[in-house]
Amino acid sequence: MNKVFKLAAVAALCTSAVAAQAQVAMDANLELDTTYSNEANARDSDLTMGGRVEFNVGAKATSGDAWVQGRASLLLKKDGDTGTDDMWVAFGNSGGDVKLGRFEAMDLFPLGKDTVVENSGYSGYRANKLRGRFGSDTVHTALGVNAGPARVEVGLVYTKEVPTKADGSIDTSKLLPRGVRPAVSYTTGPVTLRVGLESVKMVGSSDKSTNGVGLSMGYALSKDASMNVNFAKMEDDKSFGVNATFGAAGVGLILDKGANSDKNTTVYAAYSLPLMGVKGATITPAISYAKGGSGTESQFAARVRINYAF
């Protein structure tokens, strides 16, 4: 029944957009993952299959230099559940804009072709605690300003929700963040620079706000090839990453280090191939290998992903 209601809501959005004479776009795609992994991270099974069908609808209407845009993505998952990926509205003009809802803000640690990226039990800081795609208990908005080759984005995340266990005590494993996330991107020729800060408070925790920083440089080698160099740090947690995409292929390396002996090194790669020569259909074999500090087991994963846009 929930699926029916969600599909009805999407249909209502389409109808409203047409009535407003907006530019409407709809598309759908299927993603199916077959994954093998060892049991270093205490998985119940070493071979799993997951996936979803994603249905997207978006609309944009303009009035002179001003515009209003909306987008919704409904997920129908292989396990029978439903979910929402994006669900947002944005409005503004060529000088600036405001975005509200469920979305991801500026990426300060892009991973490139990240079909599968594992860790050995410890993952460093990736400048993404306030990036987005929060649930209904959290308000998320981003204020953007466009200044030539630069874009300034200030994200605001707010919640008062404190998760509790059955006995009424605070569930510290499910605490939600709130805070502010200013970020700037600057593009000149083939180079794109990104820098941002996160001031994060975990609601329900007695700790004060913690500040983190993310830095990234992207370089377009050609029309179909690019690379990224990333760095992020919050207190003792820090990460360095480098990755490159060459057409259908991608490789990456991430080095994570934390307090004491916490550390992780991950190497990953993926390559997409046409599937049966059908337009919009690809098959992507991918691997990931992660090694932690002394006393930790390595984590290996291999995935075959089938994508079909229809």
> DSSP per residue over 164-183, as a string?
B-TTS-B-GGGPPEEEEEEE
| Number of independent structural domains in the chain | 1
Q: What range defines the domain where residue 128 resides?
A: 2-309
Q: What is the mean pLDDT of each run of 10 residues along the chain (310 residues)?
A: 47 49 87 88 73 96 96 93 94 97 97 94 92 92 96 96 86 89 97 97 85 97 96 96 97 94 94 95 97 85 96
Q: Kindly report the CATH number assigned to the domain that includes residue 104.
A: 2.40.160.10
Compute the C-alpha angle 39/78/114, nearest 5°. Answer: 55
**pTM of the predicted model as reported, rounded to 2 decimal places:** 0.86
* Cβ contacts of 7 within 8 Å, gap of 6 or more: 55, 74
